[in-house]
């Protein structure tokens, strides 16, 4: 997940630089007390690319074979943060050969020479915590083959960064950056000789942050599922490190893990990925299941609503829908206009998706991915349920906050003999059009059929007056709307039955059929899928239902039905499907 620390003020930067440059007077670490096994898992293919000089950070690909990382001119602040956070060591460690080790050693030593005394942009608490954990995780790789005189600067730098964190962790923005800062400080205290004094105050501070930032239902204010996973992973690492060193984690720390785990399960699709909402991606492959397994917590969410998301799960099918207002204020810098958007996964095959976060691919893609049309929901042309405001004061990046989003999002879960059902609505269109959007979805108990209805309703008398005014302004042509179902790039859609249905074939060999019973026009358009593991956004398709609202109440019914569950789709099966639809 791309992280840009948006809330560091110029005053905060000056304090960071002051404390960083004063570190020459601090005592260094003298060696490892113990070294935990690397818990951060890298990607082998990215490590191979780094070895070849293909450096991709924050969506920028720079081809620089045989070039020191710190000689490369960074294209933006996201690239800088990713470089100075040293998460890329995980990828080179996943390769693990001599060439990868020599690159790691050269880039670490060069960083110490250039920035180790407090210079440069890497002296931010959250980034420092992330860097410290990677250096400790991969200490054996970094030190292998070095003489004691060569190792001394490494331990001296570790000590300086630890002292810096002890003074500046509170300057880290709330959320993931602060958890990274405290996790790094605790790791250093547990593993470095001479740094033991920082363990107790850091664990006490982490306990306070767990109580303050993770609510009683295991949610965080940004409503970003991937960020919640990152926080959960950090807390799990710290618990393991504490127990290995014969320290007892605080009860607040353990309780936070117990609250988060059921929420993450609620947000987990059948393929092990996370629902992609509010700036979060699907997560590094395998990380969610690994973190849940290591936590030892096997509870499911007792609530029908977790972190503002509703979930339906039957058979091999999971559906996750955003049924709450988007985050606001400081927490909205990565928020999306996704209220009532849904994602559907069958087994290990994503079917209906949102485009996801474009933050790795530049400012334009970032903005496009945050707006309503990038999500599998209904939009009205000429208006939006939320809009992007100005960048927050003192923001390092140009990321805008999300403003004017829905304020009222009623939600109801129910079940019948045939299906589980979610019904929700939002008032995001009311001020501009007088219309409330209501979405009702029902998943059959065998998971083979998702039935849905989207309604646009003018509820109150003043809403009807607003609708009439807009209707007249549009020369009685009505309000144009689109209902989008973005498809995963692995899906091949085909329009059938004269435009009444769309058949979709995931790689699993299943067949899903989309149908609708309304006056809307069905069409297939190109779409975009943001995948953080790729160099460029991926092309994909979207199903679009288009029409105009000309009355106080408009209803659009649709369904997604799994027709074939065998591994191979035969001609007879295709004929049977055609007969059914």
Dihedral (CA of 128, 133, 137, 139) sign: positive
**Residue 14, class by beta-carbon neighbours within 10 Å (0-12 exposed, 13-18 middle, 19+ buried)?**
exposed
pLDDT on residue 27: 65
pLDDT on residue 580: 35
Over range 317-332, report the average pLDDT: 95
**Residue 550, class by beta-carbon neighbours within 10 Å (0-12 exposed, 13-18 middle, 19+ buried)?**
middle
Q: Is the pLDDT of residue 493 over 70?
A: yes
Confidence of residue 398 (pLDDT cuts 50, 70, 90): low
Q: Is the pLDDT of residue 349 over 70?
A: yes
Confidence of residue 290 (pLDDT cuts 50, 70, 90): confident
- Concatenating the DSSP letter of every residue in 349-379 gives EEEEE-----GGG-HHHHHHHHSGGGSSSEE
Question: What is the share, in percent, of the chain residues with pLDDT greater than 90?
Answer: 72
Q: Is the pLDDT of residue 576 over 50?
A: no
Please state the separation of Cα 103 from the chain's center in Å.
30
pLDDT on residue 550: 94
Question: What is the share, in percent, of the chain residues with pLDDT greater than 70?
Answer: 91
pLDDT on residue 394: 43
Q: Could you give the CA distance from residue 339 to residue 378 in angstroms, rounded to a whole number?
A: 9
Q: Is the pLDDT of residue 156 over 90?
A: yes
Over range 463-479, report the average pLDDT: 92
Three-class SS state of 435: coil
pLDDT on residue 6: 45
Q: Is the pLDDT of residue 229 over 50?
A: yes
Q: Is the pLDDT of residue 574 over 70?
A: no
User: What is the β-pairing status of strands 538-549 and 479-487?
Assistant: antiparallel
What is the per-residue pLDDT across 413-450, written as a single tens digit (0 to 9) for each?
999 888 999 999 999 999 999 999 999 999 999 999 99
Q: Could you give the CA distance from residue 532 to residue 87 in angstroms, rounded to a whole number?
A: 14
Q: Is the pLDDT of residue 24 over 80?
A: no
For residue 364, what are its two tokens? 């334009």
**Nearest CA among 8, 19, 3, 132 for reference residue 80:** 3
Q: Which residue is associated with the tokens 């299906």?
A: 419
What is the per-residue pLDDT across 68-97, written as a single tens digit (0 to 9) for each?
999 999 988 889 999 999 999 999 999 999
CB crowding 298-311: b at 16 or more within 10 Å, else e: eeebeebbbbbbbb
What's the whole-number average pLDDT of the chain? 89
Partners of residue 561 on adjacent β-strands: 449, 513
Q: Is the pLDDT of residue 169 over 60?
A: yes
Query: Of 18 and 107, which is predicted with more confidence?
Result: 107
Over range 222-245, report the average pLDDT: 95
Partners of residue 46 on adjacent β-strands: none
Rg (CA), the chain: 26
Q: Is the pLDDT of residue 478 over 50?
A: yes
Q: ∠428-431-432 over CA atoms, to 5°?
A: 95
Over range 32-44, report the average pLDDT: 83
Partners of residue 556 on adjacent β-strands: 454
Q: Is the pLDDT of residue 364 over 70?
A: yes
Q: Could you give the CA distance from residue 211 to residue 215 in angstroms, rounded to a whole number?
A: 7
For residue 129, what are its two tokens? 């915590």
What is the per-residue pLDDT across 172-208, written as a single tens digit (0 to 9) for each?
999 999 999 999 999 999 999 999 999 999 999 999 9
pLDDT on residue 278: 96
Q: Is the pLDDT of residue 470 over 50?
A: yes
For residue 571, what are its two tokens? 């001609």
Over range 380-397, report the average pLDDT: 75
- Concatenating the DSSP letter of every residue in 447-477 gives SSEEEEEEEEE--SHHHHHHHHHHHHHTTT-
For residue 335, what are its two tokens? 């928020």
In degrees rounded to 5, what are phi and psi of residue 225?
-60, -40
Over range 320-339, report the average pLDDT: 94
pLDDT on residue 7: 39
Contact 514, 543 (CB under 8 A): yes
Over range 229-237, report the average pLDDT: 95
Q: Could you give the CA distance from residue 189 to residue 242 in angstroms, rounded to a whole number?
A: 10
Q: Is the pLDDT of residue 23 over 60?
A: no
Over range 478-504, report the average pLDDT: 93
pLDDT on residue 292: 87
Q: What is the end-to-end Cα distance of the chain in Å, rounded? A: 41
pLDDT on residue 22: 54
Please state the separation of Cα 157 from the chain's center in Å.
32
Over range 329-345, report the average pLDDT: 95
Q: Could you give the CA distance from residue 91 to residue 424 in angstroms, rounded to a whole number?
A: 42
pLDDT on residue 578: 37
Q: Is the pLDDT of residue 168 over 70?
A: yes
**Nearest CA among 256, 270, 273, 266 for reference residue 301:** 266
Cα dist from 60 to 285, 360, 450, 534, whole Å:
21, 7, 39, 11
- Concatenating the DSSP letter of every residue in 195-264 gives -GGGHHHHHHHHHHHHHHHS-TTS--TT--HHHHHHHHHHHHHHHHHHHHTTPPPPHHHHHHHHHHHHHH
Cα dist from 149 to 28, 117, 146, 155, 408, whole Å:
14, 18, 8, 11, 63
What is the per-residue pLDDT across 261-272, written as a single tens digit (0 to 9) for each?
999 999 999 999
């Amino acid at each position: 997940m791309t992280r840009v620390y948006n809330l560091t003020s110029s005053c905060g930067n000056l304090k960071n630089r002051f404390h960083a440059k004063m570190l020459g007077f601090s005592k260094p670490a003298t060696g490892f007390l113990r070294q935990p096994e690397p818990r951060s898992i890298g990607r082998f293919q990215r490590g191979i690319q780094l070895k070849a000089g293909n450096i991709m950070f924050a969506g920028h690909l720079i081809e620089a074979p045989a070039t020191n990382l710190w000689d490369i001119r960074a294209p933006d602040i996201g690239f800088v943060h990713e470089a100075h956070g040293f998460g890329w060591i995980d990828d080179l460690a996943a390769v693990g050969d001599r060439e990868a080790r020599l690159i790691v050693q050269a880039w670490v030593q060069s960083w110490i020479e250039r920035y180790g005394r407090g210079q440069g942009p890497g002296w931010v608490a959250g980034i420092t915590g992330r860097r410290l954990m990677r250096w400790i995780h991969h200490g054996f790789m970094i030190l292998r083959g070095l003489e004691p005189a060569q190792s001394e600067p490494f331990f001296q730098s570790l000590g300086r960064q630890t002292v810096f964190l002890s003074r500046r962790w509170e300057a880290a923005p709330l959320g993931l950056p602060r958890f990274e800062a405290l996790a790094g400080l605790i790791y250093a205290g547990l593993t470095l000789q001479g740094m033991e004094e920082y363990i107790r105050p850091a664990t006490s501070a982490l306990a306070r942050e767990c109580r303050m930032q993770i609510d009683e239902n295991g949610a965080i204010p940004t409503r970003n599922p991937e960020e919640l996973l990152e926080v959960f992973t950090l807390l799990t690492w710290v618990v393991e490190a504490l127990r290995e060193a014969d320290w007892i984690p605080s009860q607040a720390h353990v309780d936070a893990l117990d609250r988060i785990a059921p929420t993450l399960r609620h947000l987990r699709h059948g393929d092990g990925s996370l629902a992609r909402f509010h700036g979060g991606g699907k997560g590094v492959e395998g990380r969610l299941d690994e973190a849940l397994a290591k936590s030892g917590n096997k509870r499911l969410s007792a609530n029908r609503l977790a972190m503002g998301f509703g979930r339906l799960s039957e058979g091999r099918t999971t559906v996750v829908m955003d049924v709450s207002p988007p985050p606001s204020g400081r927490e909205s810098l990565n928020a999306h206009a996704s209220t009532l958007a849904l994602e559907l996964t069958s087994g290990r095959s994503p079917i209906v998706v949102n485009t996801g976060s474009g933050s790795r691919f530049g400012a334009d893609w970032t903005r496009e991915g945050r707006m309503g049309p990038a999500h599998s929901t209904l939009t009205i042309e000429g208006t939006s349920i939320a809009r992007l405001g100005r960048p927050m004061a003192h923001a390092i990046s140009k990321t805008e906050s999300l403003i004017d989003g829905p304020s009222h999002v009623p939600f109801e879960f129910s079940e019948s003999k045939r299906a589980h059902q979610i019904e929700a609505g939002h008032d995001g269109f009311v001020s501009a059009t007088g219309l409330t959007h209501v979405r009702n979805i029902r998943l059959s108990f065998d998971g083979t059929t998702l039935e849905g209805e989207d309604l646009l309703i003018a509820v109150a008398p003043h809403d009807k007056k607003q609708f009439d005014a807009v209707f007249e302004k549009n020369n009685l042509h009505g309000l144009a709307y689109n209902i989008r179902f973005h498809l995963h790039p692995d899906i091949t859609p085909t329009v059938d039955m004269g435009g009444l249905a769309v058949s979709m074939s995931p790689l699993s060999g299943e067949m899903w059929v989309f149908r609708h019973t309304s006056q809307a026009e069905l069409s297939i358009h190109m779409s975009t899928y943001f995948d953080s593991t790729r160099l460029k956004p991926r092309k994909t398709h979207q199903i679009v239902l288009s029409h105009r609202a000309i009355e106080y109440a408009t209803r659009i019914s649709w369904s997604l039905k799994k027709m074939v569950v065998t591994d191979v789709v035969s001609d007879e099966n295709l004929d049977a499907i055609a007969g059914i639809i």
